[in-house]
Structure 1
Amino acid sequence: METAEIARRFLRFFEERGHTVVPSASLVAEDPTLLLVNAGMVPFKPYFLGQRTPPYPRAASAQKCVRTNDIDEVGKTARHASFLQMLGNFSFGDYFKERAIPLAWELLTTSQDDGGFGIPADRLWATVYLDDDEAADIWRNEVGLPPDRIQRMGVEENYWSMGVPGPCGPCSELYYDRGPAYGADGGPMADENRYIELWNLVFMQYERGAGGTKKDYPILGELPEKNIDTGMGLERLASVLQGVDNIYETDVMDQILTRAARLTGVSYGAAESSDVALRVVADHMRSATMLVADGVRPGNEKRGYVLRRILRRVVRNLRLLSGDDALYLHELTDTTISAMSPMYPELSSGADAIHGVIDVEEKNFAETLRSGTTLFNRAAERTRESGGTQLSGSDAFQLHDTYGFPIDLTLEMAAEQGLSVDEDTFADLMSRQREAAKADAKAKKLGNADLSTYTQFVDTSGATEFLGYTEQEVESRVLGILVDGASVTTAQAGQQVELILDRTPFYAESGGQLADHGTIEAAGRGVVDIADVQQPVPGLSAHRGTVRTGEIVVDDRVRSAIDTQRRASVSRSHSATHLLHSALRNALGPDTGQAGSENQPGRLRFDFTAPRSLDTAALAEVEEEVNSTLASDIEVRDYQTSLDEALAMGALAMFGEKYGDRVRVVEMSDYSRELCGGTHVAATGQLGLVKVLGESSIGSGVRRIEAAVGVDALRRVSAESMLVSQLSEQLKAPRAELPERIESMVTRLRSAEKEIQRLRAQQVLSVAGDLVAGARDRGGTLVVTHQAPEGATADDVRKLVLDVRGRLPSDRPAVVAVATVPEQRPTIVVAVNEAGRSAGLKAGDLVAAAARALGGGGGGKPDIAQGGGTDPEAIPAALRAVEDGVVQ
């Protein structure tokens, strides 16, 4: 039975028994505490926590999940995977154990001809929690499972909670006996390799409190409504029904694995090391393809880092398999889309966009591997030469920060060379780098906020009615006031607040458009200045601001008014973004996709996927096309329609974005048609002018264009025109001749700089003879120390050190140390001749002592080493440290 048929059969079974079939949610979790959906119950979590009212009493789903906690185990075992699909049936206060257990048994044991999975009943075992007599009785008396195939297990195996206060309860798990060839007899308690878990039935019947440990926490009592949450791994069930040993040999995974083996010239089953690599490739290609399809883009933070890490593990394993640096991901992505599309048809329609993201990341990482591997090898060599076994945290951080090496890749490469990595220092450096960004994000977004505070307003009063498309000022009622996340009834002047209104003209930040600003005024009582509007839960607008005067009270009737000038300016930027998107697609092709945007007053930022940068001429053409379309004064229309009809008309959807059945379309004639919830101008002529400010890379395969709009664009053009006039006047050249004149000046300047550098190097090297003549004897070793003149580069110093060392007698130990201060950063180079090395002197040890005196570090080979620091005044002390090291 194919994997897609298994999923269809599962959902059909429960639909026939009164369950609502819920499509898989996006891998991008709505829950702000999660990066990605990692369990089948995640989309239903608000219902189990009581944050939202479920729209149906029973549900069933086949949910796609990504888990990376055990990513290092992927491929090494038969059960670990980073991408998995969870089949589950759920009850929200409807039925409980008495129904959930028989349903599971019926589906698994009913013959395939009658719609079940046809698993022999005598191959199934059940486990229950230690004191869950109710579940044990149902298995024994209602299902008819023999008592000797029902085993009781403890908290770790058969008790579930979310890890936070809320629902919890015992579990009952179904196991399949693979037979004596796979291990010892005796049930799951004896051997979980022979007896593999198929299905976990969670009985949410208690409420747990805060505190305690993972195994021991306070139980507050029974829940008012008991719920069912089940989960059965689709891949694991497929391995049983298809009669294969592990999930990697099932129909979907096998297609990808076989293709990878053929591409790399490796036979699956030939060697354990290559088998593990092939399994990693097969698993990770599914994860990467599904993440990209859900709108995730490679990056160095959060979800983007998960995707980048997975793709780079694929590339590295393919290189280990093939022994070459060929690009294989395009073909493997094709195979993955073909294998997965029977369950996810959207993969086929989005294939071009998926290919674009993955192809670019592979090409960029190929370059990263070349340059980064060189740096890694140098760092590893330095570590071994110094007698160490641990790569420094700063080296690992440089690999990550400069070359985009995920830390796990550095760990793998280090382990291959018998080295470990200073992960504590690496983590500290990463933490410092993120500190500012985290602080900014925390100030703006919700982080790990408890959403129940907001969802109670939706449950009791419904969503906030948005009237801002047509109204700039409305009468509203204050439904709630939040201060520091807590609900209050009143707020006084000076307090930071969040106001929940029944209706609003304020646009909440979304779709790249910044929120409206404005005021909320309770007549005769108080005024609140609004500086931000967010939607902490879908449909609810939280108006954030400061009480300027008086007070604001729950149930107040208020006048809500937006800053109309700001709204108009932001709307111009948003409309300009749509024009720019179309112009870029015309210039680069239809595969060019939006990867993010920000529309603020008078300025826009547009991120897009592209394999290459736009040169100056192409950028100018895009700008000209936008302004030509703008000058045509095209009417901007918006209307509601069905999602299918909008897509059939060619409306562009943000790839990976979630849309409902009804969508809003914004169109500018046939030039631009997009799904969009933002605010726009009435006609393109209202934009005035769009001036592109620049184009740059912000990550692998993702470019960014920034532009000014309207008056801001005019100011930019005026400023540039004035600058050109000033240059023309100062250089005594007409405007048209400025590029040639400036190029000539730059060429002469560079020539002069090279000549200065040559003369400086000559000056530095000219003292070599005097330094040799002044060599001092320190315990039988000739020592030369010198501080080069200001302006000498590290390269100049290195040449001088080698020149002096070469002139000293070769039959006597000799050490040469020269320091300089390029760009306020002191640098010291130490060289030891062959006789000195034979006497036990090492340049790396000497330079390390000198660098400590400078407040830094350094290292290198025994014959020559370099170090540096932060204190230029300590150079004399650093040179003395070298001499002290010689005589010790």
Structure 2
Amino acid sequence: MEKLGLNELRRMFQEFYEGKDHYARKSFSLIPEKDKSLLLINSGMAPLKPYFAGLETPPSKRMTTCQKCIRTGDIENVGYTARHATFFEMLGSFSFGDYFKVESITWGWEFITEVLDMPVDRLWASVYEEDHEAVEIWKNIIGLPEERIVPLGKDDNFWEIGTGPCGPCSEIYFDRGEKYGCGKPDCKPGCECDRYVEFWNHVFTQFNRDDAGNYTPLAHPNIDTGMGLERLACIMQEVDSIFNVDTIQYILKSVVELSGVEYKDGTANTDISIRIITDHIRSVTFMIADGILPSNEGRGYVLRRLLRRAARHGKLLGIQGSFLADLSKKVIEVSGSAYPELEERRDYIHKILTVEEDKFSTTIDQGTAIIHDYMKELNAASQTILSGEKVFKLYDTYGFPLELTQEILEENSCTADVEGFNEHMLHQKEQARSARKSDEDEGWSDDATMFAGLEDTTFIGYDTLSGQVSIKGLFLDKQPVASLSEGDSAILVLDKTPFYAESGGQASDTGILKGDHFELEVLSVSKSKGIYAHKVKVVTGTVKIGDIISAQVSIERRNNTARNHTATHILHKALKEVLGNHVEQAGSNVTEDSLRFDFTHFEGISKSDLQKIESIVNEKINYFFPVITEVKSVEDAISSGATALFGEKYGDTVRVVSVGDYSTELCGGTHITNSGQIGAFRILSENGVAAGVRRIEAITGTGLYRKLKTEEELVHSAADALKTNVSGLLNRITILNDELKASKKELEDLKRQAMSSGLDALIAEAKLVNGVRLITKAFKDYDINDLRTLSDEIKAENKGIIIVFATETNGKVTFMVSVSDDLLEKGYHAGNMIKQIAAAAGGGGGGKADMAQAGAKDPSKINDALNLAETLLQQY
């Protein structure tokens, strides 16, 4: 048996099944496309469920894939065992109503014995105990001895999840030899020992299970096989652990080299940390390549959790500084040929990992120290459970995932109050929901059931902005009606429409619908599957189902929107040119007034780069590029260089929009016919909207004209207000600014003189409290630095004195406590005093023993806080 590499095994499997007329599809994204039940793709068949369920037509009745998968259910075991992993690849062969058991088992046997040359005498099969057909195939067609065909019960060899398609399965095992066995004479597949390794499961989906538990044979049974690539590699390379497989070992050795720690392939804490980092860097590299970004929810939380867990174990190994970004290059080296997206997004992956790890490194030391302080408190109180409140604080304030806190606690024989944590999390979410104000019009939300029985709307708006159309459905308050009267606001469905429905970030068209005796205003258009729902208001007359009417799209709105949409395509390409190929579209909003473009990037854009981007866009506008739209197959579009969006689901054919030879993207929106029609482009703002996502807002054409008119009016108004003309405005502002600076300086000088002149009075007003002179004073609109200078002057000439000042500016309060040097050795401490003084006015802070300051929120409590100072001194 030749020791074949993991990449070679993948290639051999796919080529074998291509030779059996299977369509070899590249791996689906880790982000489920239409399956809300899954956070991440976790099996080879998961992305194919629509084909098995008959909801979609597969590209071929025979398919094969090598699917990348993420499973985090056993994350606590990753690194502690030889077989657990969060990332793995699943080889699969599938039949959708084509071949069945004979072919599946026969071809599987052919691959492992003739292609991989596995020794026949070490192969076993298990079958469902009632599947006599499978037994006969193994015995009479394959020729496997009956003693190596093991019947097992429903729990082991019958695949079903609730109701729906299900069926028996047959698993192929590899005998690793007696040294891995339990020594029992009846040891065979199904035994709990490590001798027999199940590596290929053939599922025969031949029944449909109903709610009553009845099994009805399917007219067209299916085949679903799954074989873990890493597990197969373990067998072929004769190693005991997935961490010893060639490609994974290459990454592991890089971790060892980085850490300088010897790997012994055992259970030492350092070995566990090395395996955790090795596994997690594979997961996060693939997840980021598929467009997943670190966040505090959903799959982004899974990414952040894995990333931070790996970073922490790097620290435990003594790795200095950030290291995950460099380590991801090793993953790309060994897997990039099979998964081109890794190579294509190399810079993008590196940037995300760098930013996220750097962000975490600033808090991990502080957070870890806090956890250890909490554990000291638990030990002192002879307790082992950390409260939910404290666990939530670590999550909310310091960015520690719950699982990371649990892991650290468990390493120290403590546990977390998860129930209490969840209560705090729920409370926070409820507060966020109540604070959020939705602008959505729920009355007009999509409701597919409302349109049941209606045929799909034909969209004619790419070719025309008007046309004769027929009314197929009217809905008032979501209920079907036969007619509408003047003043009604309702939803209308047409047989065909020139109105673009809101989609892909582009706002819908508006316009007019007219008949002989009525007129309707189209306010917006949405799409529910294939139905275009027109939100309308009846301006005059009465309209009924079946009426033939004239549709007219607002030409000005359509043109302005199309102008902005085409500009986003040019902007996207310009961003890649200036910032790098890691830039990907992360969202957009295109209206007639402006455009908003979200994109992946991990730092603010400099002013010079923004100017460069804006200049490039305007340059391409002035080239008067033709904007050409073509309909192509997805494969042809991608191979021609068209840009597709992360996570976007495309049909068999797509619209390809090209702006000259500069930009080519897949896009279903509406566009102008020449880049020159955009007129001009101006960036209004650039800012961050999420971790690793930036946003540019911009205007074009008439939007830019309106902006310039507004700014021109503003400039004229400013000139009038300052009693000058536009050309003299800058000089007038400069003069006034100089005069203002001089006035402010004069005012500050007067304040300082007033404070100095009142120095003796302040000292004279000091109260003697417990043998210490106490000065308290509240000021209005005084700078805290001036008060600090004043306190230094007092302390320079006086001993045995404590000064407490407060100043209120724009509704905010700042307190300051200053202690003379001779009182420090007696235990007086400004920092300790100010914590309680500021708290009395709703604030907090601290500082050194001789000087401290703090902010507060409630000016009405200033006197209470100053009075508290006297009480504090009485306690010394």
3-state SS in 2 of match to 1:584? helix
What is aligned with 2:464? Answer: 471
3-state SS in 2 of match to 1:734? helix
What is aligned with 1:343? Answer: 338
1:604 Cα deviation from its structure 2 partner: 0.9
What is aligned with 1:152? Answer: 152
3-state SS in 2 of match to 1:37? coil
What is aligned with 1:579? Answer: 570
1:243 Cα deviation from its structure 2 partner: 1.6
Q: Does 1:75 align with 2:75?
A: no
1:442 Cα deviation from its structure 2 partner: 8.8
What is aligned with 1:215? Answer: none
Q: Does 1:260 align with 2:255?
A: yes
What is the correspondence of 1:344-743 to structure 2 with a 5 Å cutoff? Answer: 344-348=339-343, 350=344, 354-373=345-364, 375-376=366-367, 379-380=370-371, 383=374, 406-409=401-404, 412=407, 420=416, 423-424=421-422, 427-428=425-426, 431-432=429-430, 435=433, 465-475=458-468, 503-518=496-511, 529=522, 531-534=524-527, 536=529, 540-543=530-533, 545=535, 561-588=552-579, 592-610=583-601, 612-640=603-631, 651-654=642-645, 663-727=654-718, 734-737=728-731
2:520 and 2:364 map into 1 onto residues whose CA distance is 60
Aligned pair count reads: 852
Verify the 8 A CA contact 2:769 2:870 in the aligned structure 1. Answer: no
Could you state the TM-score of these two structures normalised by the residue count of structure 2?
Answer: 0.76
For the structure 1 residues 670 and 162, does the alpha-carbon distance in structure 2 shift closer, same or farther, using more than 3 Å as the test? same
What is the correspondence of 1:273-284 to structure 2 with a 5 Å cutoff? Answer: 273-284=269-280
Which sections of structure 1, spanning at least 5 residues, go unmatched? 210-217
For the structure 1 residues 831 and 745, does the alpha-carbon distance in structure 2 shift closer, same or farther, using more than 3 Å as the test? closer
1:755 and 1:208 map into 2 onto residues whose CA distance is 88
1:601 Cα deviation from its structure 2 partner: 1.7
1:472 Cα deviation from its structure 2 partner: 1.9
Verify the 8 A CA contact 2:586 2:598 in the aligned structure 1. Answer: yes
What is aligned with 1:199? Answer: 200
Verify the 8 A CA contact 1:357 1:701 in the aligned structure 2. Answer: no
Verify the 8 A CA contact 2:656 2:667 in the aligned structure 1. Answer: yes
What is aligned with 2:28? Answer: 25
Verify the 8 A CA contact 2:684 2:698 in the aligned structure 1. Answer: yes
For the structure 1 residues 670 and 355, does the alpha-carbon distance in structure 2 shift closer, same or farther, using more than 3 Å as the test? same
2:258 and 2:549 map into 1 onto residues whose CA distance is 67
Verify the 8 A CA contact 1:108 1:119 in the aligned structure 2. Answer: no
1:357 Cα deviation from its structure 2 partner: 1.8
Verify the 8 A CA contact 1:382 1:861 in the aligned structure 2. Answer: no
For the structure 1 residues 771 and 266, does the alpha-carbon distance in structure 2 shift closer, same or farther, using more than 3 Å as the test? farther
1:169 and 1:442 map into 2 onto residues whose CA distance is 45
1:754 and 1:880 map into 2 onto residues whose CA distance is 30
1:441 and 1:432 map into 2 onto residues whose CA distance is 18
What is aligned with 1:246? Answer: 241
Deviations 1:167-223 (A, max 9, x none): 4455554444434444535345441644444234444423344xxxxxxxx536536
Aligned match of 2:96 in 88, 92, 95? 92
For the structure 1 residues 686 and 12, does the alpha-carbon distance in structure 2 shift closer, same or farther, using more than 3 Å as the test? closer
What is aligned with 2:67? Answer: 63
1:18 Cα deviation from its structure 2 partner: 5.3
Letter in 1 for 2:51: Y
1:680 Cα deviation from its structure 2 partner: 1.3
Verify the 8 A CA contact 1:383 1:390 in the aligned structure 2. Answer: no
What is aligned with 1:178? Answer: 176
1:729 Cα deviation from its structure 2 partner: 5.6
Deviations 1:786-830 (A, max 9, x none): 89667799999999999999x9999xxxx9999998876899999
Verify the 8 A CA contact 1:584 1:592 in the aligned structure 2. Answer: yes
Verify the 8 A CA contact 1:491 1:547 in the aligned structure 2. Answer: no
Verify the 8 A CA contact 1:816 1:832 in the aligned structure 2. Answer: yes
3-state SS in 1 of match to 2:72? coil
1:450 Cα deviation from its structure 2 partner: 11
3-state SS in 2 of match to 1:623? helix
The alignment's C-alpha RMSD in Å is 5.8
1:316 and 1:405 map into 2 onto residues whose CA distance is 11
Verify the 8 A CA contact 1:771 1:804 in the aligned structure 2. Answer: no
For the structure 1 residues 618 and 47, does the alpha-carbon distance in structure 2 shift closer, same or farther, using more than 3 Å as the test? closer
Percent identity reads: 34
Verify the 8 A CA contact 2:472 2:495 in the aligned structure 1. Answer: yes
What is the correspondence of 1:819-858 to structure 2 with a 5 Å cutoff? Answer: none
2:869 and 2:675 map into 1 onto residues whose CA distance is 71
Which sections of structure 2, spanning at least 5 residues, go unmatched? none
1:208 and 1:742 map into 2 onto residues whose CA distance is 83
3-state SS in 2 of match to 1:707? strand
Letter in 1 for 2:314: L
1:752 and 1:392 map into 2 onto residues whose CA distance is 56
Verify the 8 A CA contact 2:633 2:654 in the aligned structure 1. Answer: yes
Verify the 8 A CA contact 2:261 2:270 in the aligned structure 1. Answer: yes
Which of these two proteins has the greater Rg computed from alpha carbons? 2
Aligned match of 1:323 in 316, 319, 322? 319
3-state SS in 1 of match to 2:282? helix
Letter in 1 for 2:26: P
Verify the 8 A CA contact 1:790 1:821 in the aligned structure 2. Answer: yes
Verify the 8 A CA contact 2:766 2:776 in the aligned structure 1. Answer: no
For the structure 1 residues 31 and 440, does the alpha-carbon distance in structure 2 shift closer, same or farther, using more than 3 Å as the test? farther
1:605 Cα deviation from its structure 2 partner: 1.4
1:774 Cα deviation from its structure 2 partner: 4.8
For the structure 1 residues 223 and 595, does the alpha-carbon distance in structure 2 shift closer, same or farther, using more than 3 Å as the test? same
3-state SS in 2 of match to 1:222? strand
With 51-60 and 840-849 compared, the bigger mean Cα shift is at 840-849
Letter in 2 for 1:41: M
Q: Does 1:37 align with 2:37?
A: no
Aligned match of 1:285 in 267, 281, 284? 281
For the structure 1 residues 535 and 339, does the alpha-carbon distance in structure 2 shift closer, same or farther, using more than 3 Å as the test? farther
What is aligned with 1:6? Answer: 9
Verify the 8 A CA contact 1:264 1:322 in the aligned structure 2. Answer: yes
1:252 Cα deviation from its structure 2 partner: 2.5
1:469 Cα deviation from its structure 2 partner: 1.5
For the structure 1 residues 47 and 275, does the alpha-carbon distance in structure 2 shift closer, same or farther, using more than 3 Å as the test? same
For the structure 1 residues 868 and 734, does the alpha-carbon distance in structure 2 shift closer, same or farther, using more than 3 Å as the test? closer
For the structure 1 residues 268 and 87, does the alpha-carbon distance in structure 2 shift closer, same or farther, using more than 3 Å as the test? same
With 636-645 and 783-792 compared, the bigger mean Cα shift is at 783-792
Verify the 8 A CA contact 1:830 1:865 in the aligned structure 2. Answer: yes
With 494-503 and 427-436 compared, the bigger mean Cα shift is at 494-503
For the structure 1 residues 721 and 327, does the alpha-carbon distance in structure 2 shift closer, same or farther, using more than 3 Å as the test? farther
Q: Does 1:219 align with 2:213?
A: yes
What is aligned with 1:212? Answer: none
For the structure 1 residues 385 and 181, does the alpha-carbon distance in structure 2 shift closer, same or farther, using more than 3 Å as the test? closer
2:572 and 2:35 map into 1 onto residues whose CA distance is 29
With 312-321 and 524-533 compared, the bigger mean Cα shift is at 524-533
2:177 and 2:397 map into 1 onto residues whose CA distance is 52
What is the correspondence of 1:764-779 to structure 2 with a 5 Å cutoff? Answer: 773-775=767-769
For the structure 1 residues 310 and 553, does the alpha-carbon distance in structure 2 shift closer, same or farther, using more than 3 Å as the test? farther
For the structure 1 residues 416 and 677, does the alpha-carbon distance in structure 2 shift closer, same or farther, using more than 3 Å as the test? same
1:571 Cα deviation from its structure 2 partner: 0.6
Could you state the TM-score of these two structures normalised by the residue count of structure 1?
Answer: 0.75
1:192 and 1:803 map into 2 onto residues whose CA distance is 82
1:709 Cα deviation from its structure 2 partner: 2.0
2:584 and 2:403 map into 1 onto residues whose CA distance is 30
1:763 and 1:408 map into 2 onto residues whose CA distance is 62
1:870 and 1:188 map into 2 onto residues whose CA distance is 71
